[in-house]
Structure 1
Amino acid sequence: MDLQQARMLRDVLSDTAWWDRTRAFGRALRTSTRTPGGLLLIGPPAAEPWHLTAHLDDEARFAGLPEMSPTLVRWDPPRGAPSQLAVGLERLSTAKRGESVLVVAETAPEALLERVHDVRRGGATIFALDTGHTELAGIAHEVLSVDTGVVPAGNAARTDPLVEHPAAGPAISFEGAQHLLSLAAAEAEPGMPKGLRSRLARLLDAISGPDA
């Protein structure tokens, strides 16, 4: 899915409760992340959220929100990887108040749950994008669940971002939800000039400190 398709999907869902929840989730993510480099993305070892990281980075640059440019946290980055792809799990141990960890997981193995639980104790705000069938809801401060259980099985259902289901209406795929979240997370606040919220956040940190 490219940016134009993602925006078309957003327009289709603009009057639905799902988009309202996604916008609220994105707004909370912006509010809790106060410094550039303070938004950390992690997923299960076998499904690191590469695509959401890339799309969020694009949207953050376009919106003038450097604090929303994400850092991909990897389980085992290879030696010699570029700096943006070489951030390992040790970064989670330094996550603090004013920073956010976004967990992107269709399934959440025990190792991931343990890491997230440890990060929460350190003071960072935990967000989770999941399927509603993980244990992340018991750990995260904010959860956005994609009920993929109503999407029919099959390859077409997994790749189609919007699937019409006769009993439940439109169902969002997990991939489609990630694209929508990247748009919602960088959405401008009503009446606020581009980049102003970022400058206000940095001013607040200069006055009160990031842990206030």
Structure 2
Amino acid sequence: MSSYHADTPEPLDRRDGPYGEVALRRRGPHFEIIANGTFLMDTADGRSERMLISCALDALDGARGAHVLIGGLGVGFSLAEAARDRRPGRITVVERERAIIDWHTRGDAPLAPFAGEGHSDPRAEIVHADLIEHLRTTENRYDALCLDIDNGPDWTVTESNDSLYGDEGLDLVERTLADEGVLAVWSAAPSPAFEARLRARFARIEVIEVPVHVERGLPDVVYLSSRV
């Protein structure tokens, strides 16, 4: 019988890649992804990650056939929500970490169950690429851009992601967003400076707060933005 304690993380895999170290570990019944020694996400809840998708689709006024981009595969909650919904016509998931894709698709694929029907959904594809580079080079115009690649605009996984939340990144977002499209950005805490940048560019802004465990205090936040 294992002496593993529920409060002690059990390492499952660790990879060194072009953006640093990424690791998967288990804590009790839950899985955690750690990037460069920083906690990134786990499978304990997922409400705000699902809301990132559902609120963006609701903001499209029920339009069917929408092309949805999910920035960051993570543990799969956002992909699961998109696949559960009949409104998307295409679902493109952009993930830069090969390890995270493998944890969903290879071997015993420990994270696959958390993506729901996403991996078997014919509407969905996973693109192995850096999100900023994808936005810079894609010819697609997305109806919904749902971004969750960091702990938020003020707490990025790597310095190279900082530009996504500044003027350069928002220029790319506007270039790839359909005229009546919706931008949804997940954050682990409110970011007044990022909200101000959104308000300077978009006509419609909604800030959705999702309460989390009391010990952490600050709520998760989903920022919804559109031109109309």
Q: What is the TM-score normalised by the length of structure 1?
A: 0.43
**Higher strand proportion:** 2
Higher relative contact order (CA 8 A, sep 6+): 1
**Higher helix proportion:** 1
Q: What is the TM-score normalised by the length of structure 2?
A: 0.40
